Structure 1
Amino acid sequence: MSDPRKDIWQKRKQLGRSKYLILFGLLPWGIGLTILFSVIELISFKEINWVWIPIRLLVFVFIGFFIANARWHSMESRYEPYTRQP
Protein backbone atom coordinates (compact mmCIF):
# COMPACT_ATOMS: atom_id res chain seq x y z
CA MET A 1 0.00 0.00 0.00
CA SER A 2 1.41 3.37 -0.97
CA ASP A 3 -0.89 5.41 1.24
CA PRO A 4 1.27 7.84 3.30
CA ARG A 5 -1.45 7.96 5.96
CA LYS A 6 -0.66 4.34 6.78
CA ASP A 7 2.75 5.34 8.14
CA ILE A 8 1.22 8.17 10.16
CA TRP A 9 -1.35 5.78 11.57
CA GLN A 10 1.34 3.27 12.53
CA LYS A 11 3.14 5.96 14.54
CA ARG A 12 -0.06 7.08 16.22
CA LYS A 13 -1.08 3.51 16.96
CA GLN A 14 2.18 3.01 18.84
CA LEU A 15 1.05 5.70 21.30
CA GLY A 16 -1.74 3.41 22.43
CA ARG A 17 -5.46 3.96 22.42
CA SER A 18 -5.63 5.90 25.70
CA LYS A 19 -2.95 8.42 24.74
CA TYR A 20 -4.46 8.73 21.27
CA LEU A 21 -7.85 9.57 22.75
CA ILE A 22 -6.33 12.19 25.01
CA LEU A 23 -4.02 13.79 22.44
CA PHE A 24 -6.40 13.74 19.47
CA GLY A 25 -9.78 13.92 21.15
CA LEU A 26 -10.02 15.21 24.68
CA LEU A 27 -7.44 17.99 24.51
CA PRO A 28 -8.05 19.54 21.10
CA TRP A 29 -11.81 19.18 21.08
CA GLY A 30 -12.43 19.76 24.77
CA ILE A 31 -10.09 22.63 25.45
CA GLY A 32 -10.09 24.05 21.93
CA LEU A 33 -13.86 24.30 21.57
CA THR A 34 -14.26 25.59 25.13
CA ILE A 35 -11.85 28.43 24.34
CA LEU A 36 -13.49 29.08 20.97
CA PHE A 37 -17.00 29.30 22.38
CA SER A 38 -15.82 31.43 25.29
CA VAL A 39 -14.19 33.87 22.86
CA ILE A 40 -17.39 33.95 20.80
CA GLU A 41 -19.35 34.65 23.98
CA LEU A 42 -16.91 37.41 24.93
CA ILE A 43 -17.18 39.04 21.50
CA SER A 44 -20.97 38.73 21.38
CA PHE A 45 -21.92 39.69 24.94
CA LYS A 46 -18.79 41.62 26.03
CA GLU A 47 -18.46 39.34 29.08
CA ILE A 48 -17.94 35.71 29.96
CA ASN A 49 -20.38 33.83 32.14
CA TRP A 50 -17.96 31.74 34.22
CA VAL A 51 -20.64 29.18 35.11
CA TRP A 52 -20.65 27.96 31.51
CA ILE A 53 -16.89 27.27 31.29
CA PRO A 54 -16.91 23.91 33.16
CA ILE A 55 -20.15 22.91 31.44
CA ARG A 56 -18.66 23.60 28.03
CA LEU A 57 -15.48 21.79 28.97
CA LEU A 58 -17.38 18.71 30.08
CA VAL A 59 -19.61 18.62 27.00
CA PHE A 60 -16.78 19.18 24.53
CA VAL A 61 -14.53 16.62 26.23
CA PHE A 62 -17.27 14.02 25.75
CA ILE A 63 -17.68 15.06 22.13
CA GLY A 64 -13.91 14.83 21.61
CA PHE A 65 -13.83 11.38 23.19
CA PHE A 66 -16.50 10.04 20.85
CA ILE A 67 -14.91 11.61 17.77
CA ALA A 68 -11.43 10.28 18.61
CA ASN A 69 -12.81 6.86 19.50
CA ALA A 70 -14.71 6.64 16.20
CA ARG A 71 -11.58 7.75 14.35
CA TRP A 72 -9.49 5.10 16.16
CA HIS A 73 -11.89 2.32 15.16
CA SER A 74 -12.12 3.64 11.61
CA MET A 75 -8.37 3.68 11.16
CA GLU A 76 -8.01 0.26 12.78
CA SER A 77 -10.48 -1.28 10.36
CA ARG A 78 -8.96 0.56 7.40
CA TYR A 79 -5.33 -0.41 8.00
CA GLU A 80 -5.63 -3.72 9.85
CA PRO A 81 -5.57 -5.86 6.67
CA TYR A 82 -2.27 -4.22 5.64
CA THR A 83 -0.60 -4.90 8.96
CA ARG A 84 -1.37 -8.62 8.77
CA GLN A 85 0.36 -9.08 5.42
CA PRO A 86 4.04 -10.04 5.62
Structure 2
Amino acid sequence: MEQFIRKWEKKRKLGKQKYILLYGVVLIGMSVTILLSLIDLIFNGTVSIVYLLGRILIFPTIGSVIADRRWEKNEKKYITR
Protein backbone atom coordinates (compact mmCIF):
# COMPACT_ATOMS: atom_id res chain seq x y z
CA MET A 1 0.00 0.00 0.00
CA GLU A 2 2.87 2.38 0.77
CA GLN A 3 4.25 1.89 -2.72
CA PHE A 4 0.85 2.72 -4.23
CA ILE A 5 0.62 5.87 -2.11
CA ARG A 6 4.07 7.10 -3.18
CA LYS A 7 3.42 6.45 -6.85
CA TRP A 8 -0.07 7.90 -6.80
CA GLU A 9 1.01 11.06 -4.99
CA LYS A 10 3.48 11.75 -7.81
CA LYS A 11 0.90 11.13 -10.53
CA ARG A 12 -1.77 12.99 -8.58
CA LYS A 13 0.32 16.17 -8.68
CA LEU A 14 -0.26 16.32 -12.44
CA GLY A 15 -3.94 16.96 -11.91
CA LYS A 16 -6.74 15.00 -13.50
CA GLN A 17 -6.67 16.70 -16.92
CA LYS A 18 -2.92 16.34 -17.43
CA TYR A 19 -3.05 12.75 -16.14
CA ILE A 20 -5.76 11.86 -18.67
CA LEU A 21 -3.91 13.64 -21.47
CA LEU A 22 -0.59 11.96 -20.70
CA TYR A 23 -1.68 8.46 -19.73
CA GLY A 24 -4.91 8.17 -21.70
CA VAL A 25 -4.48 10.10 -24.90
CA VAL A 26 -0.72 9.86 -25.41
CA LEU A 27 0.38 6.61 -23.79
CA ILE A 28 -2.67 4.46 -24.45
CA GLY A 29 -4.40 6.10 -27.41
CA MET A 30 -1.48 7.13 -29.56
CA SER A 31 0.52 3.99 -28.74
CA VAL A 32 -2.32 1.79 -29.97
CA THR A 33 -2.76 4.03 -33.03
CA ILE A 34 0.93 3.75 -33.91
CA LEU A 35 1.07 0.01 -33.21
CA LEU A 36 -1.96 -0.79 -35.38
CA SER A 37 -0.71 1.48 -38.15
CA LEU A 38 2.66 -0.29 -38.11
CA ILE A 39 0.92 -3.67 -38.29
CA ASP A 40 -1.16 -2.34 -41.19
CA LEU A 41 2.01 -1.16 -42.93
CA ILE A 42 3.82 -4.48 -42.40
CA PHE A 43 0.99 -6.69 -43.63
CA ASN A 44 -0.50 -4.45 -46.32
CA GLY A 45 2.49 -2.40 -47.40
CA THR A 46 0.56 0.83 -46.84
CA VAL A 47 -1.45 2.67 -44.24
CA SER A 48 -4.95 3.71 -45.23
CA ILE A 49 -5.51 7.40 -44.49
CA VAL A 50 -9.15 6.70 -43.61
CA TYR A 51 -8.17 4.03 -41.07
CA LEU A 52 -5.38 6.23 -39.71
CA LEU A 53 -7.76 9.16 -39.16
CA GLY A 54 -10.26 6.81 -37.52
CA ARG A 55 -7.58 5.44 -35.22
CA ILE A 56 -6.42 8.95 -34.32
CA LEU A 57 -9.98 9.80 -33.27
CA ILE A 58 -11.09 6.55 -31.66
CA PHE A 59 -8.12 5.22 -29.68
CA PRO A 60 -7.17 8.43 -27.84
CA THR A 61 -10.85 8.81 -26.92
CA ILE A 62 -10.95 5.28 -25.55
CA GLY A 63 -7.63 5.91 -23.78
CA SER A 64 -9.01 9.02 -22.11
CA VAL A 65 -12.03 7.08 -20.81
CA ILE A 66 -9.73 4.38 -19.43
CA ALA A 67 -7.45 6.98 -17.80
CA ASP A 68 -10.45 8.80 -16.31
CA ARG A 69 -11.75 5.59 -14.74
CA ARG A 70 -8.28 4.71 -13.47
CA TRP A 71 -7.96 8.19 -11.94
CA GLU A 72 -11.29 7.81 -10.12
CA LYS A 73 -10.39 4.31 -8.88
CA ASN A 74 -6.98 5.43 -7.63
CA GLU A 75 -8.42 8.54 -5.98
CA LYS A 76 -10.98 6.44 -4.13
CA LYS A 77 -8.28 4.01 -3.02
CA TYR A 78 -6.01 6.89 -1.96
CA ILE A 79 -8.70 8.72 0.02
CA THR A 80 -10.07 5.63 1.79
CA ARG A 81 -6.68 4.23 2.76
- Give the TM-score of the pair, scaled to structure 2: 0.92
Where does structure 1 differ by over 3 angstroms across 4 or more consecutive aligned residues? none
Task: State the partner residue of 1:4.
Answer: 3
> Deviation digits for residues 39-74 of structure 1, max 9, x if unmatched?
110111111111211110110011101110010010
Task: State the partner residue of 1:56.
Answer: 55
1:37: how far off? Answer: 0.4
- The 5 Å alignment of 1:26-45 reads 26-45=25-44
Alignment length (residue pairs): 81
Give aligned-pair identity as a percent: 35
CA distance in structure 2 between the partners assigned to 1:77 and 1:29 by the alignment: 22
> Deviation digits for residues 8-37 of structure 1, max 9, x if unmatched?
101111110000000111111221111100
RMSD: 1.1
Q: Secondary structure at the match of 1:15?
A: coil
The reply to whether residue 80 of structure 1 matches residue 46 of structure 2 is no
Unaligned runs of 5+ in 2: none
Q: Secondary structure at the match of 2:49?
A: coil
1:3: how far off? Answer: 2.2
Larger Rg: 1
Unaligned runs of 5+ in 1: none
